[in-house]
Structure 1
Amino acid sequence: MTQGVTKPGGFALLARTRGVPAAFILVLLAFGGFSLLLPVVPLAVLRGGGSDLVAGATTGVFMTVTVLVQLLTPRITAGIGYRWVLATGSALLGLPSGLLALAEGPVAVLAVSGVRGAGFGMMTVAGSALVAELAPPGMLGRAT
């Protein structure tokens, strides 16, 4: 029974596969940036005098837009390719973060959260799919 058994040095093979290290770094940075701000935005809303409802809605809007964009991302990727989807997703996830400091009022904060959610939705789908495409045969589980 050899199914599920990996060859020694499998990770080294994966790390040497063209494009995989860059994809891993990109996804790591995107998820790192996402995870750092997710708890901070509601806290900033509260400290800025916003209501509990708006503070909670920042995460709700972020995740709702994320899921909706995830449904569209395979079609977008088929049309413009991984490079553009990942670049756009990274920009939408990261660049509006600076606007959070300038955002005044609940609509502005929720709009920025929605834009960031769109970027995160693109990154999660395109990043995972790219790694799956780049993985050598037999290494899909380990790559994922």
Structure 2
Amino acid sequence: MIMSDAPLYGATEHGAGSLFLVKVRWLFARWRYEKTLAAERTFHQRSWFPAYQNAKSTSGDLCPVTPFDDEMDRLADARYQAEGQLLNTPSPDLSAFAIKYLICFANGRDLNDQQEGLSGEAKRLLAENGYDPAALVLPQ
């Protein structure tokens, strides 16, 4: 779960509770995610994919091994770790939440295991912005 429904900025499990610290944590996690994503994309485009295409055409295998596979795996693992850190860092505002949502569900991704945490975080952000999240759904 991304976070609980506890108040984000008070004295909670999330630390000192200052909005400034929440924003700093978010910015660091986002920077780390973007840095690892850029490294993975660059390596994929410049090294791994050309080697894969070459190995595929010369060997005829559908899934050939390349000399770059280990590095590609290492970069993907680094991005997965950074992504997990970002998804588990409370969003300081609605635009930060939108970034998380798009990471989970844009471009054909389907991180359904994040739905509960995203739902709780959306309710918190709506409440902080003057909306009653309960008014948006039918009673069960």
TM-score in same-fold range (> 0.5) = no
Q: Which has the higher helix share?
A: 1
Q: TM-score by structure 2 length? A: 0.35
Q: TM-score by structure 1 length? A: 0.34
Q: Which structure would you say has the larger Rg?
A: 2
